[in-house]
Copies of this chain bind each other. A is one copy, B any other.
Amino acid sequence: MQKTAKPKKTGRAADSVEKVYDAVKELAVEYRFKPGERVNEVELATKLGVSRTPVREALNRLARDGFMSFVPNRGFHARDITPEGVRELYELRAAIERAAFRLACERGTDAEIGETIAIWQNNSNLGPTTDWAAVAEADEAFHIAIVTLSKNGRMLNALEGVNSLIRFFRRIDLESNRRRSGTYDEHAAIIECLRRRDGDVGGELIERHITLSSAHAVDVTKEGLARIFFRRPD
């Protein structure tokens, strides 16, 4: 009997909430829900092959993550999309990453810093490409790597939450002409500060690096709206 073929004969799933959470989070990250739209629990439950109970538990989690708003007797509604919201997220990200960079310079071992630099050098060898999803993924990984060096799991956790909330916009931002050019040099300068363990200068650099993106909040929001409403429903 193959293991992957059948989900075993298990009478109980026992991890439905996690599965629903991951699936719905993915939908929410990509704005598959229209902004402000009510999320129908039975529909979602049916589509995912579970009952409403685990769906509601997952939605409660997602609400605390910032992906859903909840109105009593009116259920869960997908997050909105506004320039202010995007700007605020970028500003929070900048705050976390600046502080984390300074801690990383204090706490990262030589080996860890060297490893981080090596990974960046490999990833930046992508050369010219049009796979923006891959570029965005590498960018996110770069920033995560630095915050990991801060040895502050709470900051890392908070950053991951923010990242999932802005991922949709970050991709748009990186695709735009404005950011494409500068990103490499900015990362290079940040990496150089990390090598020198210059937390003050590097912290300022990374803060500005991110703030530059927050300045485009209006543009990426417009483009995001277009993608949400013009894409094929699939």
Query: Closest CB of chain B to A82's CB: distance in Å?
Result: 11
The residue in chain B whose Cβ has the minimal distance to the Cβ of A18 is B72
A29 at the interface (CB under 8 A from B): no
- Chain A binding surface, main DSSP class: helix
Residues of B near A158 (CB, < 8 A) are 92, 158
Residues of B near A63 (CB, < 8 A) are 61
Query: Closest CB of chain B to A9's CB: distance in Å?
Result: 18
Query: Closest CB of chain B to A219's CB: distance in Å?
Result: 19
Residues of B near A89 (CB, < 8 A) are 154
B155 touches A91 (CB 8 A): yes
A14 touches B155 (CB 8 A): no
A72 touches B14 (CB 8 A): yes
A14 touches B73 (CB 8 A): yes
A174 at the interface (CB under 8 A from B): no
Interface residues on A, range: 20 to 34
A88 touches B155 (CB 8 A): yes
Give A contacts to B, CB under 8 Å: 14-15, 17-18, 53, 56-58, 60-61, 63-66, 72-73, 85, 88-89, 91-92, 94-96, 98-100, 103, 152-155, 158, 207
The residue in chain B whose Cβ has the minimal distance to the Cβ of A91 is B152
Query: Closest CB of chain B to A85's CB: distance in Å?
Result: 7
Most chain B CB inside 10 Å of its own CB: which residue of A64, A152, A154: A154
Q: Which of B18, B154, B207 contacts A88 (CB 8 A)?
A: B154
A-B contact pairs, 18 of them (CB 8 A): A15-B72, A53-B53, A57-B60, A60-B61, A61-B63, A64-B65, A88-B152, A88-B153, A88-B155, A91-B103, A91-B154, A91-B155, A92-B152, A92-B155, A92-B158, A95-B155, A96-B96, A158-B158
